[in-house]
Amino acid sequence: MTTEHDMHNPDRPGSDELILVAGAGGFIGGALARYFHDKGCTQIRAVDKKPVHEWYQRVPGVQNLCMDLSREENCVRACEGATEVYNLAADMGGMGFIERFRVECLRSILINTHLIEAAYRAGVQKYFYSSSACAYNTNLQKDPHPRPLKETDAYPAMAERGYGWEKLISEMFCQEYWAERGLKTFIARFHNVYGPHGTWDGGREKAPAAISRKVLEAKYSGTNTIHIWGDGTQARSYMYIDDCIKGIDLITHCEELVATPINLGSSELVTVDELVSLVEEIAGVRLRREYELDAPKGVAGRNSDNTMIQRVLGWQPNTPLREGMLRTYSWIEEEYLKRNAAVPINGEGKTRPLFSSGVSHRNTAAASAGSPR
């Protein structure tokens, strides 16, 4: 069993060995780059297809590159000299996105296909792949009071259309690169990661961020109404970003988990209605709820069985949802107020508040986002 003491074992790369974080312009990738930087790693290459100025976090001293990793030549360049590769790159978002843009989600297979081959050819020692609980059999997720999903529940396979199948197939790539070519791969199935410094509007946000934003919109606009996708009974567990990052590190440096998918998620199950109530409490408001029953809502219930991660690592994600949501809501509120404080009037240099609209200016359709993912 790995313990937290093993976080400092000699199996980890030296401070001068190169770590590649793919998808570093995103929520989890950006947090991972900062984590390694704060642990003293001096050679970090961060890659994302978004322009660097649009990244959620830009870490000082990190080599930041704007490259599309669905292209083979970019993966080859990205992996040059790397000791460890962390693949967080994917075209994805919340349930509204992954149900409407399945082809885009499926095309992320190009990233992992090219990146793992480039890593193998470059002599990379460890390759981490970020999978998802969407890889699990959807027939086991039809009850809002589900039994927690254990790692073996991915088969017989019936993954979520598009996004879930891409994750499951990419897991197979990782397992076969170990079995046939000896590349040490590590696979974590994420369960709904949330926290500050992530997407909170625009249509790709997850339920914790979407609900936080909608509560803010209702609070500051005075509408006192929140629109919820589904009937509010959909149930999920949500993992705070700090737990996710620590879990990635532990998993990637545990020899027992080579080419072995493992859950990385909280086991604290809540319904959408309960999550809304929690955010209302944090915000100090009580809102009228309107349910949109024909909106995307995903499976009825999904929770993480953490038996395996506790047995192997002696650890599991443990940040209470209330604590994590307090930090997340506070950060989103700060960002919301900075963005919406004032807008120009007729180009005259005068300003007026932007709180009357009740919706984000980037994408009004996203104001109904909130179904769990």
Tell me the catalytic residues: 163
CA-CA-CA-CA torsion sign (68, 69, 72, 77): positive
Q: Which of 156, 99, 159 is nearest to 372 (CA)?
A: 99
Which spans in the chain are helix H? 27-38, 72-79, 95-100, 102-106, 109-121, 163-181, 207-221, 241-252, 272-283, 307-313, 321-340
List C-alpha distances in Å: 156 to 118, 135, 151, 152, 153. Answer: 31, 11, 12, 9, 7
3-state secondary structure of 301: strand
Q: For Cα atoms 243, 140, 292, give the angle at the middle one, nearest 5 degrees.
A: 80
Label residue 36 exposed, middle or buried (CB < 10 Å: 0-12, 13-18, 19+): buried
Cα distance between residue 214 and residue 226, in whole Å: 6
β-strand pairing of 343-345 with 262-264: unpaired
Cα distance between residue 150 and residue 179, in whole Å: 23
Cα distance between residue 180 and residue 217, in whole Å: 53
Rounded to 5 degrees, φ, ψ at 71 are -105, 130
Q: Which of 228, 241, 240 is nearest to 271 (CA)?
A: 228
DSSP letter for each residue of 100-119: H-HHHHHTTHHHHHHHHHHH
3-state secondary structure of 259: coil
- The helix or strand, by DSSP H or E, that contains position 318, with its residue range, turns out to be none
